[in-house]
Amino acid sequence: MPIYIIKCPDCEHQFKGLVMENTQKPKEWFCSQCGGYLARPIFQYSGEHPLDNSHGASCSCCFGNGK
């Protein structure tokens, strides 16, 4: 599951976007700050998403609970 850093050219807001496995990335990205549809990916994480592997004690999505 690739995670993208998205940037809106209208308001400069940056946010993360997750694209689920076996799906296509959106043709348009919606900016939650200004409501614009011109946001574009500026970076893609190349590492594995935490939900794709076994969780450890330092897992950020489990807040370090080791679940």
Distances (CA, A) of 49 to 29, 37, 38, 43, 52: 20, 26, 26, 15, 5
**pTM given for the model:** 0.64
The pLDDT of residue 66: 43
**Burial environment of residue 23 by CB neighbours within 10 A (0 to 12, 13 to 18, 19 or more):** exposed
Residue 55 has pLDDT above 70, yes or no: no
Model confidence over 3-34: pLDDT tens digits? Answer: 889 999 999 999 998 888 888 889 999 999 99
Distances in Å between the Cα of 64 and the Cα atoms of 16, 43, 45, 48 are: 21, 26, 21, 18
Averaged pLDDT score across all residues of the chain:
79
